[in-house]
Structure 1
């Protein structure tokens, strides 16, 4: 399928999805997702988004009772998160969510009908606000009519999807904050306004570009909200050496991003003789003071999400997936993997939410762990992290002095996502070839391409400063703004900072939009530019913001360093 085919929305393909970096042939997945998502699940996710847009349309100009308003916000946030790449592969989950969405929309519509009784308003209702069925076969049929390709104009389609994917990333961050009882009404309302706007055929490309930038603004707010939730609950991250070896006791491996799940697991495993290890994006949990009191919280096991197929087999004990980043499990560990929250896979045991605000029940996982052998050791040693904004601000004088003396010539922001493509080895080689007077600022699982390299330090400042998870990219923004203030600069782009960011899924999209909103220019994005950017939209990003791709390490190194020589 090429770009011309994308302009033929009646093209008969089982599915169409191009929301992640691994979109087939750089265009889109049409038979099965590279992630492993089946066509029917992909289509049902499209239908769920369609109904969410209908709920949003009905709710944005309607006064709802406070309890219903909250339910709408939480449901939309939760459902958007469930459609992120590598989050949930379970058809039954999406059938149930669509039914719940239609029931919720009916409740919202009762209030809409009462407040919009004129016939003209009712005639203008979009299909997303009125289509209804309880039949699963009808869901499948309708899903094929409401996917990405139903927007015929390539540029409008591109901008609508860019907004939608940004909202998915935003929803992931607000979901984690919500788990810690932190919400922001303005962000919730914007998510509904933006979803509804993607139904409006009267909006021009310029108006949608403006909405893209507004999405970035609220992305900053969402990341700030989660930062407040995490730090007020667990303390500010501290510089920490994290063990990457194992002990000779049974263990549970926890992956994903949700710190609340980790907290409850640690509480329930205390004194049981079962150790807890983090995997992939859970690594930064070790930086939080609140988790350091658990002596059975041993260290980090393995690498980024995409290596789980081999590493989970070697772990021997049960694995808990708390958020997106699950890949289709292998038989070698299928009986030992559990999901919770928005994560799901057919045939995998799911730990449900508890009622009345009580902790989830992890007794089944703990009992299984006691029957398993200790994990096979993959490596030994330590890695250092914990350089979130509060920590870096505390050593700002040392950093500034190193810049002034010339010991640090430049910072490279290499945040974002890791992935399976061999071309991502570029980021390892790039880190290795950076001059020794440069420092890498990172967050997200992209760091696994270089965080175990011996890159040394500059006057005691490690050359890789890991701020944490992908959502902690906010810390990198705060650090940059603090340096701008200290150096008395008018423009954030005058800082000695270059941006060479790897992306994979929709949380990276909202981080990108947040950076653009803050005025950051000349960001390079790889290993490929998003398939959902039409040529014209890509040109807007290039012309207005200096967005670029990557080529090879040698040429890019010369480009980055030569521009600031």
Structure 2
């Protein structure tokens, strides 16, 4: 059977409607279909684990970790390796089969829980279980909104798991929610409630990862990060997994190889634990979408710990290494050992044979304004607000991307009045963190909290300011939200903010294609969700 494609989970989906031939991200139809099948069998596994819990039986951590990794593998720009995804389908079916034997009853289990087939039939099945298998547009929209939120949540939970942190309640919810997405009796009202509940667990998941990161590496601190290069060969590490970085730093110590961060790994520069490594150099390059030109110039190997991977050019493809949920056919994938450690010796050996990186830029950028650091400056910040030196905070967190319309965010940042402060997290920062926007009484006008999951820090800061000013509603604070989105981790951040009661969020550069007109109307009417227009008009609307 011919592989048919329909994918609209990212902001850059074709025509703002859906990719049907090949993904704008570079994903091929057969890969998209296999990802659909992986989500389907993960829902089936989750229906079984949810039934087991209902029967009072426990579910092992390994199964929880399998569910989160499966979802993570299907995030935009994470895994393009058909064989690796198909192998996870097989692993999931085997795990489900073993768990089925422990059930007291199989009555009323959904078809996804009962389906089991040989690998030769995967492609045929994949065609029938994609997004469009849900015919009702509004039900489909709510199901996919929940699914994409769960994918983002799973990514954050997976990083926490890597550092030994687990939360059974979060895992049980993820699996219960996946099982509910198979239930055709769920009404629109039921599914809307599930969307909002996903936001609640989004907050919990980001808090779990924040605790894991700070326990392992200390609280982020204000840091000047070098943008230039050194004279040694280097390894460029990108993605979000701090545990992978830690292992790489340990294994490269004393080898004469420097480690540079890229993209969403930049905030690793803010953690005290990593600063002890003298060979931990600066940040190289910009956001994920510029990697094709920047990776050419780096000369050394590049290690992808998570998304965002752009299909590499042949000229540097042999220098790409992947690990975790990431993968690309033809690139070396590094699997963990039984104890969870990873051997990066092949990456290091290659680095030693490479020229030092070519310098792209010089100078420094400042970051490290996670919640603990900002709250340490709370008196100074509150005084600036009370004196009128700071009139407004603008949350410009989220994702960067390659669409020309995203130039809006750089222009918006430059057009903001000098008495406004930008709070940011995620790779959206690359649109304005290097613009030199100055400070207000020593407080930088761009406060970078870190990775996309560190949007949690921005929520903590907002809630603390609400408390300090004695307000009963977070929306009464002098804070506005102008958030850029690209993929599914931004979706869980959005749902988390909605759970916290934040309203009137501007989302751009476009609203998600997976929101049907009716679902979009509910979000607009109940939460004030809106899109962006022109810089001039949006400055008037948001800032006044």
TM-score by length of 2: 0.98
Superposed structure 1 runs of 4+ greater than 3 Å apart: 63-68
* Secondary structure in structure 2 of the residue aligned to 1:254: strand
1:449 pairs with one of 414, 431, 434: 431
Q: Does residue 220 of the first structure (1) align with residue 220 of the second (2)?
A: no
Pairwise mapping of residues 141-540 of structure 1 onto structure 2 (< 5 A)? 141-357=124-340, 359-540=341-522
Equivalent position SS for 1:227: helix
Distance 1:440 1:356 in 2: 42
Q: Is 1:39 matched with 2:29?
A: yes
Residues 1:128 and 2:112 are matched in the alignment: yes
Pick aligned residue for 1:98 from 89, 93, 111: 89
Q: Which deviates the most, 302-311 or 330-339?
A: 330-339
Whether contact under 8 Å (1:84, 1:168) holds in the other structure is yes
SS of corresponding position for 1:417: coil
* 1:65 Cα offset (Å): 9.7
The reply to whether residue 16 of structure 1 matches residue 6 of structure 2 is yes
Provide the rounded CA distance (Å) in 2 between the counterparts of 1:65 and 1:42.
Answer: 36
Secondary structure of 1:453 counterpart = coil
Cα distance in 1 for partners of 2:543, 2:374 equals: 24
Q: d(CA) in 2 for partners of 1:65 and 1:72? A: 16
SS in 2 for 1:238: coil
Contact 1:13-1:30 within 8 A present in 2 as well? no
For 1:349 and 1:126, locate their aligned partners in 2 and report how far apart those are by CA, in whole Å.
Answer: 38
- Output the CA distance in 2 between the equivalents of 1:487 and 1:306: 40
Change (3 A) 1:345 1:66: farther
Aligned to 1:344, the other structure's residue is in SS state: coil
Deviation at 1:68, TM superposition (A): 4.7
- Partner deviation per Cα, 1:188-218 (whole Å, 9 max, x = no partner): 0000110011111111101110110100000
Per-residue deviation, 1:58: 1.6
Secondary structure of the residue that 1:177 maps to in structure 2? Answer: helix
- Classify the secondary structure of the residue corresponding to 1:416: coil
For 1:482 and 1:201, how far apart are their aligned partners in 2? 41
Pair 1:53-2:43 in alignment:
yes
Judge conservation of contact 1:321–1:339 (CA < 8 Å) in 2: yes
Name the structure 2 match of 1:108. 99
Q: Distance in 2 between matches of 1:405 and 1:41?
A: 56
Q: Secondary structure of 2:322's partner?
A: strand
Contact kept in structure 1, 2:3 and 2:33, CA below 8 Å: no
Aligned counterparts of 1:317 and 1:217: Cα–Cα separation in 2 = 42
Q: 2:58 & 2:173 partners in 1: Cα distance?
A: 18
Once residues 68 and 335 of structure 1 are traced to their aligned partners in structure 2, the CA distance between those partners, rounded to angstroms, is: 40
Q: Which residue of 2 aligns with 1:7?
A: none
Residues 253-278 of structure 1: per-residue CA shift (max 9 Å, x gap):
00000000000100111111100000
Offset at 1:59? Answer: 1.6
Deviation at 1:71, TM superposition (A): 2.2
Indicate if the aligned counterparts of 1:13 and 1:31 stay in contact, CA closer than 8 A: no
Give the SS at the match of 1:221.
helix
* Aligned residues of 2:3 and 2:127 also touching (Cα < 8 A): no
Match of 2:19 among 6, 12, 29: 29
Residues matched between the structures, number? 542
Could you say if the C-alpha distance between residues 165 and 233 of structure 1 is closer, same or farther in structure 2, counting changes exceeding 3 Å? same
Q: Secondary structure at the match of 2:60?
A: helix
Structure 2 Cα separation of the partners of residues 69 and 153 of structure 1: 36
C-alpha deviation, 1:69, in angstroms: 2.7
What CA distance in whole angstroms lies between the structure 2 residues aligned with 1:31 and 1:131? 28
Q: What is the aligned partner in structure 2 of residue 87 from structure 1? A: 78
Q: CA deviation at 1:35?
A: 0.3
User: Offset at 1:249?
Assistant: 1.0
Moved more, 552-561 or 312-321: 552-561
User: Separation in 2 of the partners of 1:233 and 1:91?
Assistant: 34
Show CA shifts across 1:439-487 (max 9, x none).
0000000000000001000000000000000000000000000000000
Question: Which residue number in structure 2 is paired with residue 5 of structure 1?
Answer: none
Whole-angstrom distance in 2 between the partners of 1:202 and 1:501: 34
**Which residue of structure 2 aligns with residue 3 of structure 1?**
none
Indicate if the aligned counterparts of 2:160 and 2:209 stay in contact, CA closer than 8 A.
yes
CA RMSD of aligned residues (A): 1.2
CA distance in structure 1 between the partners assigned to 2:80 and 2:314 by the alignment:
17
Superposition TM-score, scaled by structure 1 size:
0.95
Question: Which stretches in structure 1 are left out of the alignment for 5+ residues?
Answer: 1-11
1:441–1:464 CA contact under 8 A, matched in 2: yes
Contact 2:234 2:351 in 1 (8 A): yes
The answer (yes or no) to whether the contact 2:142–2:519 under 8 Å persists in 1 is yes
